[in-house]
Structure 1
Amino acid sequence: MNFLSYVVLGGFSYAAGWAIRTYILNKQPAPEQPYNLKHPAILGYLGAFFIIMLIISWMIGRYALGHISLDLPFIIINSIVATFVYSFGLNPEKKSYDVPD
């Protein structure tokens, strides 16, 4: 994969997190415990996205890159990085991720 492919994959990951936060979490009643990266619902979404990315990374490696054998380092690292980018879009604590002035 080239740099542009990783940028596109990161954009899709961020957009998926943003969509979950905007269209699902913000539409629900406010929880007793405020949403942050330690909230059980957020951890569930992160875990589900990581599992989905494991499958997508395997498919990218197998069909797009032509890896005949199971390329575990590629699959795991790609999934971890995509989940990390997803967390930026999912995290409602905007102050934690804002770029300083």
Structure 2
Amino acid sequence: MAGSTVSIGVLAVVATLGMGLGAVGSAAVSAARAAATADTAAVAAADTALGFVAGAPCERAEEIVTSAGLSLVGCEMDGVSATVTAAAAAGVFRVHARARAGPPAAHSG
């Protein structure tokens, strides 16, 4: 009888650890997906600001983020440089990713 109790306890611990690691793994995958989407949206917004693509920069970024199934948290333009923040739900977690794109800053001297 004592062996059965120990076996049930071990199985419960292993199942709990497995569920926890699965949630953390899901959050890591969602974070990588959000980062890639934010990068793509920032480049698209900067390209739009530079005139390579027609439209409004932040509207273009929002199209890309929402087409990936994520939420656009923020889009800021500084001239032709774009900073985009995207968010995704990952089970009980919510992950955010921020990306910046634009031409390199001019260096003096």
TM-score by length of structure 2 reads: 0.35
- Say which structure is richer in strand: 2
Greater RCO structure (CA 8 Å; 6+ sep): 1
- Say which structure is richer in helix: 1
TM-score by length of structure 1 reads: 0.37
